[in-house]
Amino acid sequence: MIYNTEKIFYLKESIPHTWLFPQLSAAIHHGGAGTTHTILRYGLPTLIIPFGADQPFNADRVFIHRLGPKGIPTRQINASNLSNALADLLHNYPIYRQNAQKIGPSIEQEDGLRQCINLIEQQLKQ
């Protein structure tokens, strides 16, 4: 599943979030809706490195709600920005973790599929 070249690890196949995220203390990712939702469902602080679509919005929400450091757009990432964000994540980890753990149970109780179906049905009735 995983092979490496020196210090770089490559995944040859996908790893289910439901297996991976419970193994983590925090996550650094692109900020897609599904990944962000699942990470917060598991109560994990997160650093988002957005590159498009809804990802900058998700990064802002994470930062505003103190669930992780301010996101770094990919076009602005460099060693200094990344090390500062990681230092922030480590320094404020207890706050980020506490906030993420508060939101996790409410996310877990959501029935997103049912809500989506209801919205579509309402639109079709109009």
pTM summary value: 0.80
- DSSP string of 73-89, one letter each residue: -GGG--HHHHHHHHHHH
* Domains of the chain with CATH codes: 2-125 (3.40.50.2000)
- The CA distance from 80 to 68, in Å, is 18
Give the relative orientation of helices 33-41 and 93-109 as an angle to the nearest 10 degrees: 100
For the stretch 68-116, pLDDT in tens is 999 999 999 999 999 999 999 999 999 999 999 999 888 888 887 888 8
Partnered with residue 59 across adjacent β-strands are: none
Structure tokens at 6: 């020196």
Average pLDDT of the residues of the chain: 90
- Burial class from Cβ neighbours inside 10 Å (0-12, 13-18, 19+) for residue 4 reads exposed
